[in-house]
């Protein structure tokens, strides 16, 4: 039991909150990536894989940078959301094993 109910109920309550937090994290990651790409490549938009005028190096570099930024931001946002949920409810929303 936690201060607000049993653990499985509290974890189920985290699911919609976690989804909202993840969506917001995607928005934040997209904004960060656009700024990083603009500063690094001096272009307003990153190339798409189907942009004929762009080379392999630029397309793959953009995709790798975007993946790294999205992964890092998602981890930070998800972790902060889980910590906040734990502080609020007393229940860790994921596995408790260390």
pLDDT in tens, 51-60: 999 999 999 9
Residue 73 and residue 28 in contact, taking contact as beta carbons nearer than 8 Å = yes
Q: pTM for this one? A: 0.79
pLDDT in tens, 4-21: 556 778 778 888 888 888
How is 25-93 classified by DSSP, letter by letter?
Answer: HHHHHHHHHHHHHHHHHS-SSPPPTT-TTS-HHHHHHHHHHHHHHHHHHHHHHHHHHHHHHHHHHS--S
Take residue 21 and report the two structure tokens written for it.
């937090």
- Provide the β-strand partners of residue 5: 2
Domain range list for the chain: 7-89
- With H, G, I as helix, E, B as strand and everything else as coil, classify residue 5: strand
């Amino acid at each position: 039991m936690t201060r607000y109910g049993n653990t499985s109920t509290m974890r189920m309550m985290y699911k919609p909150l976690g989804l909202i937090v993840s969506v917001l994290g995607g928005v934040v990651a997209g904004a960060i990536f656009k700024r990083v790409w603009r500063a690094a490549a001096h272009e307003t938009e990153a190339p798409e894989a189907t942009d004929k005028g762009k080379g392999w190096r630029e397309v793959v570099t953009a995709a790798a940078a975007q993946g790294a930024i999205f992964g890092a931001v998602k981890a930070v946002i998800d972790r902060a959301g889980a910590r906040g949920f734990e502080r609020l409810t007393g229940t860790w929303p994921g596995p408790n094993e260390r």
